[in-house]
Chains A and B, each alone.
Chain A
């Protein structure tokens, strides 16, 4: 960013100050905002996390010049986190990609869009079965719709997976195996009404700061809310917690079972709720299947839990037996409301599905479900992990609307909605993320049957685990071809053979779906720089090139092009031609095509125009007799969810067992696949920090955020540091079975690890901690565990390394 740009920004940030002050700031917070005549303000969801705050974007002379929190937004009511206040600047990093680049003789050289699109199409034609796509929870909903239809409906290939596989898929399997349908029943409103909020390995203060403020803010209004922080290290969340329970990594399953055991043993569970709404399940050892399992009676369930006495749980987890009793006693109370919250701690876990099921189980068992403030709620890290990936179904086994490629009826349905010839969709699930990259990085003659991979809107070269094996091994494989659509050079574009410059955020139309089932929409406000173009357009353009080359899959049942969009007069618009892409609203067209899918599992979406009007709506959104559209806050609860039968109270209408009941699972605690030993005596945990989002490719280009958190570090306990003889700022080397990395240490900084654990954030592309992490994953969700692997810490002896 040049001085002038920065100064403009400073000025406009200052400008950002008056509106709110003038509006009388309904909340005491939110920065004051100034504006100037000539600045146009428009709504958009924040580009970063799954919280889904709304911002107002100020545009002047074709440039974003200011950002303010949106007072009209339910989610954030004018407040933003430190990243959100700077979100406008991500558009203006000085190294934006502005032209397609093709690798020739080892160097990336500019080429034309025609050549770029043709190159992609030729790679498809080489062998469509070996062409894969890797999408993202940062894809807009229409981008996901385009990718899904292109791959599954066009190439008859399910080798399309998305990065939420690495962050949310255990939550998905947890919801599916418990309720038969994905996504939380509760909403953020629960946080305004709960008496107790439990953070299950969740550093909400840094990861979902605005929702966390929503809880903490209640205290400043004199309300009492108890925050219980379960964690493997102290974090900023701990500062606000009434109880901090430090547990040993991987022992969360024992704790959850311990709570369930006490509820059962003390006869303190909600008998009525359980009798009316719950079935009990365990894994069938013969046929492990996270969805169906093997039925068990309540007595068998109780017997299975019996070994998890508070004392035994203390032994496994390190959490004092009394604290386990205290938690069980809380869940036993019917006069309080309890909300559980979790994110990567429970999901990035080799037992992710199991721990998700157990936490749902505690809530069901104790009847802390379905009332405002009583909810088990998972949070998402990406802005549209829910909207684009879980709902649109951009994973290798899914179809839109939460349906499965392996199910014949589901395929037929989808073929109908997409107007495809029967049998077009492949019944075989494709490769999930870890397998996909393994196949891509394995030589063709050794079974690596993915020859081309198109990555859109994400950065696997930094975010995959075990990077040497799953990404860097691509280097030198001559016949493998990596295509990357992105906005900045990243660790992924480093190995790319073709780079496609993309439009970012308000440089295009978009729709996102946040953690609480809220679908959001925004309009394009400024032009992308240079030749950067929408990801959605890129997909359509490649499809059209294939169509022109005679590829059968790009035709629908009526032999028309797969992506045929018509204008109001019924005339097809050549949207594959960039000059005509904005002749119609392609987002709206995709969304309306996708909407019928949403009804299949009661995830009803409203027409596009409703989202343009509002700050998002939470599905199911159902039309009222007067024609208006009503969102649903509490799913499965009669008082709010229109799909619940009158008189049922609570009804799990997507139930796995088809009897309107949810499943309470028993899942045992088991030791982790890799833990500290004599050679690698420390646990390594990885994660994010407040200032940076995902792999830092956007936030590190914002000067204020970069200055506030310039580089990765290793957080180490003062005891371990003293033993190693290192002080804050001095470098240590972390060594795992998979890689080695030197980093400065930070003692008593942002967080605080207990002895024997170290923590490293993953935002820094110059210090790739994922070279060390483990690619072992949950057997059901296929989500890898970034939170636990074994490392050794070595002091690095260099002169003058202290500063």
Chain B
């Protein structure tokens, strides 16, 4: 619990600083998060192939099978601050990334079928904060594009990374490996997955 509180406080501090920095550097603030339907709790990043959120909440049995199946330990149980989503599987950007296994063991393990092979693998979208990205600030850096597991999702244009929103799955590998002093990649979750 105390850990959760720490993280959210840190997020808060960081968010405020980020806004200040952006304002000072004349960088526009990121686009507002997509409009959410009233029933969605907090934005939560699900494992790949998740069904729409309402159905996910209703049908996920909290059996933890996907958590056990993940070979890199990327999936965790949503903590209490996610309120009624607490206990369901999620991927926390602060600590882990989905590595996009070709054989998606988490989906295979999901018995109630809230993770499905016939659903898009998209979990969210990466967003590059240009005021903190080293490459966008004149320092040679290509780490994120080299480690991105999805071909074509992260292109380097003139030495600077650019996310291809349609291809990006939001796995979070880029955010994990980003070596900038202030991590320059945010993963925007996809709470309103299409039906």
Binding site for B on A (CB under 8 A): 3, 7, 10-11, 13-18, 21-22, 27-32, 34, 67, 79-82, 85-86, 205-206, 209-210, 212-213, 216-217, 236, 239-240, 690-691, 704-705, 707-709, 749-750, 803
Contact = CB atoms under 8 A, between A and B. Distances in A.
A81 B135 CA distance: 10
Contacts of B113: none
B179 interface: yes
Contact of A749 (B141, B146, B178): B146
A11 B71 CA distance: 32
Contacts of A10: 10, 14, 181-182
Contact of B159 (A30, A82, A239): A239
B159 A240 contact: yes
Interface stretch (B16-24, B40-48, B55-63, B163-171): B16-24
A7 B10 contact: yes
Nearest to A209: B140
B132 interface: yes
A79 B138 contact: yes
Contacts of B25: 17, 21, 32
B138 A708 contact: no
Interface string B53-85: 000000000000000000110000000000000
A708 B173 CA distance: 10
B108 interface: no
Given A13-B181, A13-B182, A16-B181, A30 B138 contact: yes
Nearest to A20: B25
B137 A82 contact: no
A interface secondary structure, majority:
helix
A32 B138 contact: no
B134 interface: yes
Instruction: Sort A-B residue pairs by CB-CB distance and give the 5 closest, nearest first.
Output: A29-B138, A13-B181, A708-B179, A21-B24, A14-B17
A783 B141 CA distance: 31
A442 B119 CA distance: 65
A21 B22 CA distance: 10
B140 A690 contact: yes
Contact of B179 (A240, A691, A749): A691
Given A85-B180, A708-B178, A708-B179, A32 B143 contact: no
A34 B17 contact: yes
A82 B179 contact: yes
B21 A18 contact: yes
15 contacts: A10-B181, A10-B182, A11-B17, A17-B21, A17-B25, A18-B21, A22-B24, A80-B139, A82-B179, A86-B181, A210-B139, A704-B178, A704-B180, A707-B177, A708-B178
Most buried by A among B25, B99, B137: B137
Given A213-B138, A704-B181, A709 B21 contact: no
A409 B140 CA distance: 49
A707 B179 contact: yes
Interface in B157-195: 159, 176-182
B143 A81 contact: no
Given A14-B14, A14-B17, A209-B140, A31 B134 contact: yes
A16 to B, nearest CB: 7
Contact of B140 (A11, A212, A707): A212
Given A14-B21, A22-B24, A236 B142 contact: yes
A27 to B, nearest CB: 7
A22 B131 CA distance: 14
A749 B101 CA distance: 18
Nearest to A7: B10
B13 interface: yes
B177 to A, nearest CB: 5
A432 B176 CA distance: 44
Nearest to A219: B158
Contact of B138 (A3, A28, A690, A709): A28
Given A10-B14, A21-B25, A749-B146, A705 B179 contact: yes
Interface residues of B, number: 33
Instruction: From A18, A82, A206, A239, name the one whose CB has the most chain B CB atoms within 10 angstroms.
Output: A82
B139 A79 contact: yes
Interface string B120-159: 0000000000011010011111110010000000000001
Contact of B143 (A3, A34, A67, A708): A708
A86 B141 CA distance: 14
B55 to A, nearest CB: 31
Interface in B19-45: 20-21, 24-25
A27 B21 contact: no
Contacts of B99: 803
Contacts of B139: 29, 31, 79-82, 85, 209-210, 213
B21 A707 contact: no
A34 B141 contact: no
Contacts of A216: 140, 159
A32 B21 contact: yes
A707 B176 contact: yes
A30 B71 CA distance: 38
A27 B138 contact: yes
Contact of A213 (B131, B140, B181): B140
Interface in B82-134: 99, 101, 131-132, 134
A32 to B, nearest CB: 4
A691 B182 contact: no
A749 to B, nearest CB: 5
A209 B179 CA distance: 15
Contact of A803 (B21, B71, B146): B71
A14 B138 contact: no
A420 to B, nearest CB: 48
A32 B131 CA distance: 7
A668 B131 CA distance: 52
A236 B140 contact: yes
Nearest to A67: B181
A714 to B, nearest CB: 15
The listed residue with most A CB atoms (<10 A of its CB), out of B25, B138, B143, is B138
A690 B146 contact: no
Contacts of B137: 29-31
Contacts of B6: 3
Contact of A18 (B24, B101, B134): B24
A31 B146 contact: no
B169 to A, nearest CB: 18
A28 B136 CA distance: 10
Nearest to A68: B181
Contacts of A32: 21, 24-25, 131
A707 B144 CA distance: 11
A317 to B, nearest CB: 28
A85 B181 contact: yes
A691 B143 contact: yes
Most chain B beta-carbon neighbours within 10 Å: one of A15, A22, A31, A32: A31
Given A14-B17, A82-B179, A803 B72 contact: yes
B162 to A, nearest CB: 15
B20 to A, nearest CB: 7
Contacts of B24: 17-18, 21-22, 32, 34
Contacts of A704: 178-181
A216 B146 CA distance: 21
A552 B172 CA distance: 65
Nearest to A749: B146
A436 B160 CA distance: 46
B178 to A, nearest CB: 7
A750 B146 contact: yes
Nearest to A27: B138
Nearest to B21: A17
Given A31-B132, A708-B177, A803-B71, A14 B182 contact: yes
Contacts of A691: 143, 179
Contacts of B20: 17-18, 34
A209 B142 CA distance: 12
Contacts of B146: 749-750
Nearest to A728: B149
Contacts of A205: 140
Nearest to A703: B179
